[in-house]
Amino acid sequence: MNQLASKDLRPAGSIPKKHQLPRLKYDYAALEPHINSRTMMLHHDVHHGSYVEKLNAALEKFPDFQDSPALWLLSNLDKVPHEIRTAVHHNAGGHVNHSMFWRAMKPGAAGEPKGPLREAINRDFGSVSVFKTKFEESGARLFGSGWVWLARTRQDGGKLEVITTSGHDHPMMQDRFPLLLNDVWEHAYYLQYESRRPEYLKAWWSVVDWEEAARRFDLCNGTAEDLWEAEGGHVLATEKS
């Protein structure tokens, strides 16, 4: 059972708010040469900004859902009014996934996972190198637009898996907790890599923030509330407009 669907974790008694585009913690050019500044600017400001704008527009018709965190909406689509369900699915997913994506990267991040996360990767994939190959191959094979993830199951002793999702679906919709993700929508790489998605996937390791992935790994043994908190307040707890 999806833990996030089992509890309504929306803030109680709050006034209607709007979802906000989170600020980047680094400059547009900070991830060059692996991701160029124009790609980052368009990806964050235009694409992610559009998801936030359209999510807020959809929720305006239904004030009771305006206080609902984006991940709650995504994990409880059956509770969302049918009239806006498709728009919420796409745009809440785009907002949640992109917000995690920006946190998954940092300048000068070359390196590999350490500690318990590395041990878990070695246990479930054989080695970090094998994991990276599987991650790249899964992302390259994904047809159309979507995401490739390192996720942890809630069963099987917390086994790590590489999974892909189409569109803006999220692993928590499958009761899996995401540790790391890469965006394989064309807007994430086409200006720089054109159709060379495998090249982009390989270059991306140079900007991966393994400390962030390790933080998420350490938290995912907690309760549903702990997992919710790990997603970050700027995504889940909306801010005043």
C-alpha span between 27 and 31 (Å, rounded): 8
Query: What does the pLDDT average to over 92-97?
Result: 96
What percent of the chain is predicted at pLDDT more than 90? 72
The tens digit of pLDDT for each residue in 68-80 reads 889 989 989 999 9
What's the pLDDT tens digit per position in 38-63?
A: 999 999 999 999 999 999 999 999 98
pLDDT surpasses 90 at 230: no
Q: How far is CA 12 from the centre of its chain?
A: 25
Does the pLDDT value for residue 207 go beyond 80?
yes
Distance CA 212, CA 203 (A): 19
pLDDT band at 239 (very low <50, low <70, confident <90, very high): very low
Q: What is each CA distance from 152 to 64, 160, 167, 220, in whole angstroms?
A: 32, 4, 20, 8
Q: Is the pLDDT of residue 115 over 90?
A: yes
User: Residue 228 and residue 211: Cα distance in Å, rounded?
Assistant: 19
- Amino acid at site 23: R
Report which of 180, 220, 227, 182 is spatially closest to residue 201, judged by C-alpha positions. Answer: 182
Report H helices in 20-81.
37-41, 49-59, 70-75
Mean pLDDT of the chain: 87
